[in-house]
Amino acid sequence: MSLLMNNRYGISLFLFFCLMSLPFAEVSQAQGPSAGLSPEKINSRVKSNEEGPDKSGKSQAFEFTVIAHRGASGYLPEHTLEAATLAFALNADFIEQDVVITKDDIPIVLHDIHLETVTNVESVFPERAREDDRFYARDFTLAELRRLNVHEREDKSQNRVFPSRFSATTSRFSIATLYEHFDLISELNRQLGKNIGVYPEVKSPAFHLAEGVDASRIVIDALQAFNLDGAQDNSYLQCFDFSEVKRIRSELGYKGKVVMLIGENDWKESSTDYTWIRSAEGMAEVAKYANGIGPWVPQLFNQNDAKSKKIEAANWVTHAHSNNLTIHPYTYRQDALPPGITGPHLLDALRNIVKVDGIFTDHVPPVLSWREQRRSNVDGAQ
């Protein structure tokens, strides 16, 4: 997901859920039923909305996919092999890899096309910034990138975005290739008898094409090398650029599962009009090329909820459901929850009101604990 989104999460989601969570916050101050939609009411609503067995007899509540966002990024520096290994050990269903391409056309796992927010590139290669003072991975060979140390994400002022996360100062983490990530996950699956999937994202495909390299083709080649490119394989390929999603299907002939990521237009993530994407016409068009969508969590709720004092899914979500699109929103962070709402309440609202199919998360354990508790509740009710 985008760097801009990452920084906005603590601001925009905070502001949005300040409104969304007014009913929750009012509970402790109000003196009666006029307090609004309390956590207890959410729980009641969740119970009434909890889905029972489907036509096959299998409980719908069992179907909630947990995707390790940039690996176990809530505990170790994002997108490192160590973070991927921990995500595997934590038993996520999928592990995400954002992919950018080096000067020597090697796919590396890195959240941004820039380096300075998560590495010490400024001190190792101080003269290698472009005119915009940014350090681009595309300007470095893999051998050069191996010299960098990966650290916790920082903002433009070099302040840690998540201050409470991994803070050891002597550990050494490195940039790894997409092949190394796939090889690691594949080998762990083989040895441990598991089937944890991969969820790569083609980062900034238009930028890469302008640089003379086809990032999507390179990522697809990697998926094919590990037999992860089929419709039934345990993988998803995601992208924020709708033109590229269409190209992946039509020009590159990709047969695996594809997810259209949905941002906000002012993020400048791509030339895609995300407002149109969320329309009935847009969702129908997306469904021609993609199996699912990856929206930003605040986009999924009715932003007038604070006035009506109830939580409802945004109207556009019905277009996604009517087109049978899988919904995997981003991002659940245990250390950046909206004020006045707990993690389980947020997950309950996403699962039972919006009816999403899973979640990207920096923190796998609390989401898995929530899922197991909900499974137990359904089993008990049956």
Tell me which residue has tokens 């354990």: 365
Neighbours of 70 (CB within 10 A): 30
Q: Give the Cα separation of 132 and 245 in Å (integer).
A: 29
Q: Which is catalytic among the residues 69, 181, 319, 363?
A: 69
User: 306-329 b/e with 16+ CB inside 10 Å = b?
Assistant: beeeebebbebbebbeebebbbbb
Q: Which residues contact 161 (CB under 8 A, 6 or more apart)?
A: 6, 7, 10, 152, 153, 154, 155
Q: Which is catalytic among the residues 79, 111, 151, 208?
A: 111
List C-alpha distances in Å: 31 to 19, 253, 309, 340: 20, 61, 16, 17
Q: Which residues contact 63 (CB under 8 A, 6 or more apart)?
A: 357
- Element spanning 201, H or E: strand 197-202
DSSP type of residue 154: B
Q: Give the Cα separation of 204 and 195 in Å (integer).
A: 29
Pairing of strands 257-262, 197-202: unpaired
Q: How many residues does the chain have?
A: 382
Three state DSSP letters for 61-111: HHCCEEEECCCCCCCCCCCCHHHHHHHHHCCCCEEEEEEEECCCCCEEECC
Specify whether 114 is catalytic. no
Specify whether 111 is catalytic. yes
User: 40-52 b/e with 16+ CB inside 10 Å = b?
Assistant: ebbeebbeeebee
Tell me which residue has tokens 């016409």: 281
The residues annotated with a catalytic role in the active site are 69, 111
